[in-house]
Amino acid sequence: MLDWIGAELDLQAATAMMDFGCGGGITTLGVALRHPQIRVHGVDIGDKFRQLPDLAKEQLHLQHLPDNLHFHQIEPLQVLAEHHAVDAVFSWSVFEHVPQSQIPVIFADLYNSL
Tens of pLDDT, residue by residue over 17-73, are 999 999 999 999 999 999 999 999 999 999 999 999 999 999 999 999 999 999 999
Q: What is the pLDDT of residue 28?
A: 98
Kindly report the pTM of this predicted structure: 0.94
pLDDT in tens, 64-110: 999 999 999 999 999 999 999 999 999 999 999 999 999 999 999 99
Q: What is the pLDDT of residue 30?
A: 96
Q: What is the DSSP secondary-structure string of the chain?
A: -HHHHHTTS-TTT--EEEEET-TTSHHHHHHHHH-TTSEEEEEESS-GGGGHHHHHHHHH--SS--TTEEEEE--TT---TTT---SEEE-SS-GGGS-GGGHHHHHHHHHHH-
Q: Domains for the chain: give ranges and CATH numbers.
A: 2-113 (3.40.50.150)
Confidence grade of residue 2 (pLDDT, cut at 50, 70, 90): confident
